Chains A and B, each alone.
Chain A
Amino acid sequence: SQQGEEDPQALSIQEGENATMNCSYKTSINNLQWYRQNSGRGLVHLILIRSNEREKHSGRLRVTLDTSKKSSSLLITASRAADTASYFCATAMEYGNKLVFGAGTILRVKS
């Protein structure tokens, strides 16, 4: 069963605007990861945030994690047309190696 659920399912913004995607999950986690998928290609890891972290930055990406609400958000600042892709959150359980993926958010950045 799916652990993570992304919101919104789809998002369309203008170049230069910020994009925010949210992810909710159900059980305790070791970490939460965000991946990007360009159309029909493999997923690429973007950023990992551990369960004891609240915020993490990587370039134009900012991820927050609220374990009390079992939710995370991914913020992409100053978006570019090249950011157009699907974005998935994935949760790593407290024990083991399994990642459970959500259904993803489709982001379209218009130039």
Chain B
Amino acid sequence: EAQVTQNPRYLITVTGKKLTVTCSQNMNHEYMSWYRQDPGLGLRQIYYSMNVEVTDKGDVPEGYKVSRKEKRNFPLILESPSPNQTSLYFCASSGGGGRPQHFGDGTRLSIL
């Protein structure tokens, strides 16, 4: 079954404690992306990757890092989380070129 898998689904943590949200897709997609969703703001892109070792900033990259060492994985790293990063995060993948994106089920992060 084609899917995008994120872990963890829920996380409550404290300010400054480094965390990683993993994302894996099994569709051999080249394009992967991270979004955050906040009430009234829709989805905003954090980072994206066109292929292995190729990443670039989206609209709201501050405070986040990513890496793309393998085609299937695209982890999101918060080196020093702060309360304003409390949000619902989604990973997505697609074949690129404006094709539809497949989304994971989301990770709800609470930074206290």
- Interface residues of A, Cβ cutoff 8 Å to B: 1-2, 30-31, 33, 40-45, 48, 88, 92-93, 96-104
Contacts and interface: CB of A to CB of B under 8 A. Distances in A.
Contact of B98 (A40, A92, A101): A92
Nearest to B42: A103
Contacts of A31: 98
Interface of B: 4, 31, 33, 35, 40-45, 48, 50, 58-59, 88, 90, 92, 94, 96-98, 100-106, 108
B100 A48 contact: yes
A101 B104 contact: no
Given A40-B88, A92-B98, A97-B97, A103 B40 contact: yes
A2 B42 contact: yes
Contacts of B50: 97
B98 A42 contact: no
Specify the main secondary structure of chain B where it touches its partner.
Answer: strand
B8 to A, nearest CB: 14
A11 B32 CA distance: 32
A22 B33 CA distance: 26
* Leading 6 A-B pairs by shortest Cβ distance: A92-B98, A42-B103, A45-B100, A103-B42, A101-B43, A30-B98
Contacts of A98: 45, 48, 58
Specify the main secondary structure of chain A where it touches its partner.
Answer: strand
19 contacts: A2-B42, A30-B98, A31-B98, A33-B100, A40-B106, A42-B4, A42-B106, A43-B103, A44-B103, A45-B100, A45-B101, A97-B31, A97-B94, A97-B96, A99-B33, A99-B98, A99-B101, A100-B45, A102-B42
Contacts of B103: 42-44
